[in-house]
Amino acid sequence: MSDVRKLVNQVLDGERLTPEEGLFLYENAALPDLMPAAARVRERFSQPETVTYLVDRNVNYTNVCITDCKFCEFYRPPGHDEAYVLDREQMSRKLTELRDAGGTRVLLQGGHHPDLPISWYEELLTWMRDEFPTIERDAFSPPEIEHISHVEGIPVRDVLKRLKDAGLDGVPGGGGEILDDEIRTQVSPKKTKTAAWLDVMDGAHELDLYTSASMVFGFGEKPKHRVNSFTALRQQQDRSLERYGRGFMAFISWPLQYESRYGRVFSGLKGWKLGGSADDYLFHTAFARLFLDNIPHFQVSWPTMGLAVAKDALRAGCDDMGGTMMEENVVSQAGSVHSCVTEQQVRSTVEAAGFTPRKRNSRYHALEPTGDTP
């Protein structure tokens, strides 16, 4: 029996991979080694015949940012002609459309605006809660939370507590990319470092805000950096589960969308592989399901990979389609052509893969067609 097969069987027997074993598996396994095993591990955490999804909308409340990430084509510096901050009328129109379409969650993310105080975010959340009470507010990734703490000069946990009191329901996993500071320093030197990203999520878990963990690969990093990132997430999940009895509800990853200035800047560096193919994505996803043995749900990334690859990912350990995303502005500006889909397209993809679609809310509670909890 090969060493790869031994390690896969070890996972199937319920044993955890060490980081060293994970690196060996990542470097030596092939996609057919991992996909069937990932599908079996998925069944430990979710109903084998069911794939969940939710109806949501991404709203980018501002594109003003001072972090200057090399891979981001979305942001604009302060004072730019194309810089914006959405007003209440614009927000109301977007949320009304979401509510009328049966949506249950808004994913609210933006840049690191240097002039918005925490009171601006509090007032926005409270207004959303009062005007659109049926829509959950999943808002402000860890880098945004850290940025608000810097603007205000107060601790991250105070920011989280004030935002929750104002109406925050969850913290999305954006800004994670590769949780290895060697890579983060190269591609986003001004952005949140690994320890700070994890600390925000620890605070969110303490407050019982729902969270997800994301990972973007294909910045030119090596397998060891990816395994380091997986290990950091797994260790944080262990800590949160031990301390609070809860942690990340889901994991999602995708390859870098680099048809942007990032690709132009780094494409000439010898040995740097940017982004990833469909098989790279499926391999990465299946490996994640084997290594991240304490995160229950895995989402496909149809916005970057398309629905056809997403269908394959449901056989590579994923049990959730994520949101329908009535609107998307970030990865689309980096080169992705898979922006938004209808609820029926999501359901049809799930059924074509041989599963039963089930609409959910952000905490993975199943919803009836009316939107009521059964």
What per-residue confidence (pLDDT) applies to 259?
A: 59
Q: How many CB atoms lie within 10 A of CB 339?
A: 15
**In the predicted model, what is the mean pLDDT of residues 311-337?**
75
For residues 104-131, give the mean pLDDT: 96
DSSP H or E run through 307: helix 307-313
Q: Which two tokens stand for residue 132?
A: 């659109």
pLDDT at position 198 is: 98
Helix, strand or coil, per DSSP, at residue 54? strand
CA distances from 340 to 174, 249, 323, 361 (A): 18, 23, 9, 19
**What does CATH list as the number for 3-359?**
3.20.20.70
Please name the helix (run of DSSP H) or strand (run of DSSP E) that holds residue 287, with its range, or none: helix 278-291
Q: CA separation (Å) from 272 to 263, 276, 308?
A: 10, 12, 27
pLDDT above 60 (res 332): no
Domain ranges of the chain: 3-359
The per-residue pLDDT for 370 is 37
Q: Which two tokens stand for residue 344?
A: 């029926």
d(CA 176, CA 173): 6
Give the model's pLDDT for residue 84.
95
Task: Give the CA dihedral 214, 218, 224, 228, nearest 10 degrees.
Answer: -20
- Residue carrying the six token digits 């092939």: 30
Please determine, for residue 116, whether its predicted confidence score (pLDDT) is greater than 50.
yes
| 74-103 average pLDDT score | 94
To the nearest whole percent, how much of the chain has pLDDT over 70?
91
Alpha-carbon Rg for the chain in angstroms: 20
Q: What are phi and psi of 41, to 5 degrees?
A: -65, -35
Contact assessment for residue 178 and residue 225, using Cβ atoms and an 8 Å cutoff: yes
| Interval 270-290 mean pLDDT | 88
Q: Average pLDDT, whole number, for the chain? A: 91
**Strand-strand pairing, 356-359 and 320-323:** unpaired
State yes or no: pLDDT of 71 exceeds 60.
yes
